[in-house]
Amino acid sequence: MDTDELGERLFGALLGTLDVLSIHVGGQLGLYRALAPGPMTVGELSSATGMHPRYAREWLEQQCVAGLLEVDDPTRPEDERRFTLPDGHAPVLTDPGGLAHFPPFADLAVAATSQMPALLDAYRSGGGVGWAEFGPLMRTAQAEGNRPIHLHLLGQSWLPSLPEVDRVLRAGGSVADIGCGEGWSSIGIALAYPDATVDGYDVDPSSVEAAREHVGRHDLAGRVHVRLVDVVADPPTSTYDVVTAFECLHDMPDPVAVLTAARTMLADDGTMLVMDERVPDEFTGPGDPVEQLMYGFSMFVCLPDGMSHPGSAATGTVMRRSTLERYATAAGFASVEVLPIDHETFRFYRLHQ
């Protein structure tokens, strides 16, 4: 890549960054939701959302210039132009339950970079920025970003592709969902398997509170129980047919201790499943978009969170297969199997006792 090519690439990245920030604004202020039913003028959008008219006009025009919205006739007076959210863009910008929904990732980026002064201090000192320091926007963005896959893919596609696991859960098996966050993975399993029971475990009080609310709204309180428990410091005494850790192991300061606790929670013929980032097995220099994305998350969220704990393993988001194998072996598991579940972002592992 020569000088001009790099300059063009970075200019494109800058435009993308500004789009992401504008999408955060649109999501947080309810602008896309207001536009979903049909075209609006600046005044109508301002009245519907409470956004100041001058800012509403700037946002609408920026969205048109960026190609996210359309305008009926740009030659009409400013207060008469009608702006439209195209049908094909609505699922991306307004459907929080859809697999294409993007605003949570914009929120995640904003939540991360809002802590830039603290991140710079951590980079110099070797300290960290803990999960709670990123604030509620980070927590909800993480949960909302993963909600669609847990509700649409986990129980409908991924787990049914594993015959032993599917059979156990259909027969009313028990699941321990470690690092359940706001509970969408636990809910997704329970919705897909009406006879199964799920105990979700997490160490973040706000996540647990939110998870319990989500469980209640899905009428699953009888089968899904979310507990504020550190499974390392206070290991559950129950044993489970399936123990899961969905996209959380790389964040944990002591993943070996977590996997050791998980192994003690498994029934003799139980299954331990880990879902984590689908990154290449080796570092090779220039990487694919998924590896680029995960290094970005690692720099600004996951590694600083991990480093905020004394004695942390400091895994970071880019947890390669060899790293997981090392953790699993140290925790007493015999082997690690990569499961034949195809997804562009995530990889599934089974840890054998």
296-338, pLDDT tens digit by residue? 999 999 999 999 999 999 999 999 999 999 999 999 999 999 9
Nearest to 242 by CA among 191, 278, 197, 277: 197
Helix and strand numbers (H, E) in the chain are: 15, 9
Please compute the mean of the pLDDT values over residues 10-24 and round it to a whole number: 97
Contact (Cβ atoms closer than 8 angstroms) between residue 250 and residue 277: yes
Report the DSSP beta bridge partners of residue 175: 198, 242
Nearest to 278 by CA among 343, 346, 324: 346
Note the pLDDT of residue 179: 97
Which residue type sits at 228?
A: L
Note the pLDDT of residue 199: 98
In the CATH hierarchy, which top-level class contains the domain 146-352? alpha beta
**What CATH code would you report for 3-94?**
1.10.10.10
- At 326, give phi and psi (nearest 5°): -65, -45
Give pLDDT tens digits for 97-150.
999 999 999 999 999 999 999 999 999 999 999 999 999 999 999 999 999 999
As a whole-number percent, the residues of the chain with pLDDT over 90 amount to 100
Query: Above 90 in pLDDT, residue 168?
Result: yes
Please compute the mean of the pLDDT values over residues 182-186 and round it to a whole number: 98
Note the pLDDT of residue 29: 98
Query: Above 90 in pLDDT, residue 79?
Result: yes
Residue spans in the chain of domains classed CATH 1.10.10.10: 3-94
What is the overall mean pLDDT for the chain? 97
Contact (Cβ atoms closer than 8 angstroms) between residue 143 and residue 207: yes
Note the pLDDT of residue 146: 96
User: Beta strand 70-71 with 83-84: parallel, antiparallel or unpaired?
Assistant: antiparallel
- Which band of pLDDT confidence, cut at 50, 70 and 90, is reported for residue 161? very high
Query: Above 90 in pLDDT, residue 269?
Result: yes
Note the pLDDT of residue 239: 97
Residue spans in the chain of domains classed CATH 3.40.50.150: 146-352
Query: Above 90 in pLDDT, residue 14?
Result: yes
- At 347, give phi and psi (nearest 5°): -125, 140
Nearest to 179 by CA among 142, 135, 148: 142
Note the pLDDT of residue 160: 97
As a whole-number percent, the residues of the chain with pLDDT over 70 amount to 100
Query: Above 90 in pLDDT, residue 1?
Result: no
